[in-house]
Amino acid sequence: MARKKIALIGAGNIGGTLAHLAAQKELGDVVLFDIVEGVPQGKALDLSQCGPVEGFDASVIGTNDYADIAGADVVIVTAGVARKPGMSRDDLLGINLKVMKSVGEGIKQYAPDAFVICITNPLDAMVWALREFSGLPHSKVVGMAGVLDSARFSTFLAWEFGVSVRDVSSFVLGGHGDTMVPVVEYSTVKGIPVPDLIKMGKSTQERIDAIVKRTANGGGEIVALLGTGSAYYAPATSAIAMAQSYLGDQKRVLPCAAYLEGQYGVDGLYVGVPVVIGKDGVEQVIEIALDEKAKAGLQVSIDAVKELLVACKAIDGSL
């Protein structure tokens, strides 16, 4: 059977890490694309030379030509620029929107049957724009944020309770970052909900509230420590889990930025919700009952996404 093909658009920190993980896990042959000449080729050569040591046969090539992504099964998009000092949120939006336009057109032309995972920020708006520009079905274009946010939440909960991260399952909804909504009632240690663990004296409401806050600021905490750039190991591994669920038809339940058509009272927006990812892409959106606090939190997220889409449409009249 021919190997699958994984195209990575953007060969920066996350793109390079994605290429390494995809090759190591033999998800398929890897094509690393960037507009900067030399960087994807250099990283691909370096990564190819991991093969003999790590024992993978996947090929890794670097390119500046979209034609090389032809027929990709999965496309993961990290292309764009990060916000720099002096740059407004709208400046960033304008730049990355243009990037999504070129990436979307490249995917439309060369990989229209791919499952597309967008990582570029501001995530909830960029995934929407990428879908618009690519014209792919909504079920085949998703945003990665929730897997990362819930991984951060689970890490902190495991530390708090002194248990294995494997026994922690945490639940987040909504946008990426500030507007994320961690749902504590659905977060568990081996099935025991966090509120019950508080009742059992394993933690306190105050400590859990602090963890929720730390999770929402999880990206910012790393940016501040690094001084330059943002997190890339956990963002990359999160997107790989989504790609694996698609390629292996695993039907994992993963929180992703997915297109809603009425679910959670939202129509026509990408919002972070639990979905089932299998061979058809997003196969189900799981709609859970929310209490008033979570509903209000989700509404804040939804309003923030709506605002971003208005700004996108003002910048690009074709949207």
What are the residue numbers of the active site? 176
Report if residue 301 touches ligand TXD, rule: CB under 6 A. Answer: no
Q: Which residues are annotated as a binding site for substrate?
A: 83, 89, 121, 152
Using CB under 6 A as the binding rule, whether residue 119 contacts ligand TXD is answered as yes
Strand pairing class (180-182; 172-174): antiparallel
Question: Residue 259 — φ and ψ, nearest 5°?
Answer: -80, 125
DSSP 236: H
Task: Tell me if 9 contacts ligand TXD by CB under 6 A.
Answer: yes
Smaller CB separation from ligand TXD, 12 or 281: 12
Q: Between vectors from CA 283 to CA 113 and to CA 116, what angle results, nearest 5°?
A: 35
Please state, in angstroms and rounded to a whole number, the distance separating the CA atoms of residues 104 and 279: 21
Does 117 bind ligand TXD (CB under 6 A)? Our answer is no
What string marks each residue from 88 to 107 as x (binds ligand TXD by CB under 6 A) or -? Answer: -----------x--xx----
Contact 194, 157 (CB under 8 A): yes
Which SS3 state, helix, strand or coil, does residue 256 take? strand
Amino acid letter, 14: I
**Residue 313, Cβ density class (10 Å: 0-12 exposed, 13-18 middle, ≥19 buried):** middle
Tell me if 216 contacts ligand TXD by CB under 6 A: no
Cβ within 8 Å of residue 273, ≥6 positions away: 146, 173, 255, 256, 258, 260, 263, 264, 285, 286, 287
Near ligand TXD by CB under 6 A, which window of 3-11, 41-49, 54-62, 205-213? 3-11
Quick check: 297 binds ligand TXD (CB under 6 A)? Answer: no
- Residue 59 interacts with ligand TXD (CB under 6 A): yes or no: no
**Residue 231 interacting with ligand TXD (CB under 6 A):** yes
By beta-carbon distance, which residue lies closest to ligand TXD? 12
Q: By CB under 6 A, which span of 19-27, 152-160, 195-203, 224-232 interacts with ligand TXD?
A: 224-232
Identify which range of 72-80, 156-164, 277-285, 288-296 contacts ligand TXD by CB under 6 A: 72-80
Q: Is 232 in the site for ligand TXD (CB under 6 A)?
A: yes
192 three-class SS? strand
Give the interface with ligand TXD as residue ranges (CB under 6 A): 9-15, 34-36, 78-82, 99, 102-103, 119-121, 123, 144-145, 148, 176, 219, 229-232, 235
